Amino acid sequence: MTNPNTAQTPEAFAAPASETVVRLTRRDLPVHCPVPNASLWNAHPRVYIPVEENGGQARCIYCSTLYVLDDV
């Protein structure tokens, strides 16, 4: 029997897991995630974030952190 209080709906998976937004300038490029000051407990493999190739913003494929280039 499924507990209705813990059942997941398709809408629950539509939103990104993280609402973290990192604002960048061109001086910060290239940028990678996790950022150097990230806690060890939530670390994941380092990936470079292609903000310039994606219109000035891109999400990390692991943690869904949004990286936004302010001076596009």
Q: For the chain, which residues make up each domain, given as ranges?
A: 16-69
Reported confidence tier of residue 71, pLDDT bands at 50, 70, 90: confident
Reported confidence tier of residue 16, pLDDT bands at 50, 70, 90: very low
CB 71 within 8 A of CB 25: yes
The residue count for the chain: 72
Residue 8: exposed, middle, or buried by beta-carbon count in 10 A (0-12, 13-18, 19+)? exposed
pLDDT at 35: 81
This prediction has a pTM of 0.69
Q: Is the pLDDT of residue 24 over 80?
A: yes
